[in-house]
Amino acid sequence: MKNGEVCLRSYLVSDDERTVAWLNDPEMKNTFGLTYQIDVSMHRKWLDAQCDFLIKAIEVNGQHIGNAILRLTPRHKSALLEIYIGEASLRGRGMGFRALGLLLKVAFKELKLHRVKLFTRIDNIAAQKMYEKAGFVLEGCERQAIYQDGVFVDQNIWGLLFDEWVVSEDV
């Protein structure tokens, strides 16, 4: 697929099957620290139980290629961001960065948030470079925060404040 226009749209029930396939991919499971297989009914039950939660499907040329999530904390005008390109063949082509820019516009312009934070595994260099490029600041390391495959793994916490956010012309 040629790089096309990236957009965010409402996440639909019909997106569940594709999303579950992505989340069960070994590389994605490792990235998210998932230790078990997910099925569509488990995923739907989890989605339906979420509160203060915004999920958008990432599309390129009308094809659903990933998802973007904001877990909102309205009291503090903040959110935890999660974003991924599920289609492995499309990773590393700038689509995640463009989707991130669109999601930050939603967070800061539409939802009027003050702060967006996210976590990365310390070995996820590509994601860290993308977040730095988008203006996120490394705030620290949560030592041995993730237990996966019998090993404790560190994760970094990143933050972006409204006043630090710069609207990129790339999105």
pLDDT above 70: percentage of residues in the chain: 95
Residue located via tokens 């069960």 = 24
Q: Is 96 exposed, middle or buried (0-12, 13-18, 19+ CB in 10 A)?
A: buried
pTM, rounded to two decimals: 0.90
pLDDT in tens, 23-64: 999 888 877 778 889 999 999 999 999 999 999 999 999 999
pLDDT score at 3: 59
Q: Which residue has the higher pLDDT, 158 or 150?
A: 158
Residue located via tokens 């991924």 = 84
Say which residues have a Cβ less than 8 Å from residue 91's Cβ, sequence separation at least 6.
85, 126
Domains along the sequence of the chain with CATH:
6-164 (3.40.630.30)
pLDDT band at 2 (very low <50, low <70, confident <90, very high): low
* Helix residue spans in 24-166 (DSSP H): 26-32, 40-49, 95-105, 125-133
pLDDT score at 1: 44
